[in-house]
Structure 1
Amino acid sequence: MAAIFMGLPMLSSHAHARLTLSKSRGMGGLSTHFVSGRNPLRRKAVEKRGICNYKRPLMTMTVMMAKGEQEVKEIREKSTEDINEEVIDLKGELQMLRFKKNTRQELKTSEFRRMRKRIARMLTVRRERELEQGIKRRQSRKMDRRWKRSIVVRPPPSLRKLQEEQAAKTEKKES
């Protein structure tokens, strides 16, 4: 059912109608909204024209993976208790970032993704250790619930640092 129009295969009559509309409006060529990700021939033609670029640089992805691998090696060197403590601190920091975002204070939005990935790496290493010990999924979830209930609420490190600085300033003013 594919008709050929101007040397390009058409997928449907709807696409053909959009193409003819763009021609009748005097756009001088194919409209950019006609491009379909499903049609590899159109995709190549559009890439050659430079309208949009579907290709992503592979180098940046490999560099990011290498950084992640280094971080995982560092995490694996830590004890399980240290990992648990750091997960608690990172989750507190993530909560502080959310608070800053909601109060419209200055922050980098890339921090959210970085923080979530770091937490995920920590939890992954913790789960790997549980699997090595032979702890199955159901038992792991029970242990995780117990661990979450046992967490003592405390401010994240960044907030503690701010509180200490403010306390030092008030002491200087009083002295």
Structure 2
Amino acid sequence: MLNLSVASPSSSSTLSFLPKPLHFKSSFNGIRLRQPNTCTIPATKRTASVSVVMMAKREEELKQIRTKTTEQINEEVVELKGELFMLRLQKSARNEFKSSDFRSMRKTIARLLTVKREREIEEGIGKRLSRKLDKKWKKSIVVKPPPSLVKLREEEAAAEAAEAEKAA
């Protein structure tokens, strides 16, 4: 409540101003100058179903990852990192590529490494030991071309063989 005293020569009077009651719950107990303009956009059935489908796909992908052995997960991480490297080369050479592949590959790698770390935690391997094992594993990786490059080379070799048969 706000009290205001007005002193005049003839009499003394007090005016009181009561704040308007707030229509919503808030932890703020001060004077609100204006109501915030709220705009709500109704969620459509389509957007809600798309998010549900995406979650289901991720859950299915995680189930598939969890069925793999740790060695298979390590091999797949190496392959995906090679693919990511090839995408970066394509980008730098200004060749055509899908920019969405960067994000999807990074997320897939992260999912694989998460499952790998979950298994280490189940075995009781601490964070420090895990990092040491990762360093050893990374040093033991034999660099080999990613599957996309191998496939591209096979296609080129098949095309050259077909041209050689036509010429002969």
TM-score, scaled relative to structure 2: 0.70
Question: Aligned pair 1:111/2:101, yes or no?
Answer: yes
The whole-number CA distance in structure 2 between the counterparts of 1:71 and 1:173 is 41
SS in 1 for 2:77: helix
In structure 2, give the amino acid aligned to 1:156.
P
Q: Are 2:85 and 1:99 aligned?
A: no
Amino acid at match of 2:157: A
Specify the SS of the correspondent of 1:108: coil
Counterpart of 2:159? 169
Matched, 1:73 2:63: yes
Structure whose residues are more often strand by fraction: 2
Alignment of 1:114-129 (within 5 A): 114-129=104-119
Specify the code of the residue in structure 1 equivalent to 2:72: D
CA distance in 2, matches of 1:64, 1:130: 28
Aligned equivalents of 1:142, 1:58: Cα separation in 2 = 43
Aligned residues: 134
**Alignment pair present for 1:142 and 2:135:** no
Residue type at the aligned position of 1:124? T
Distance 2:127 2:109 in 1: 19
Q: Which runs of 5+ in 1 are unaligned?
A: 10-40
Q: 1:128-169: per-residue Cα shift (whole Å, max 9, x none)?
A: 111111111110000001111111111110011001111222
Paired residue type of 1:151: I
Q: 80, 85, 98: which one pairs with 2:75?
A: 85
**Root-mean-square deviation (CA), in Å?**
2.3
Over residues 59-101 of structure 1, what are the superposed CA-to-partner deviations in whole Å (9 max), with x where a residue is unaligned?
4333222111100100111111111101100111111112222
**Pair 132,3 (structure 1): closer, same or farther in 2 beyond 3 Å:** closer
Q: Which runs of 5+ in 2 are unaligned?
A: 1-29
Computing the radius of gyration over CA atoms, which structure comes out larger, 1 or 2? Answer: 2
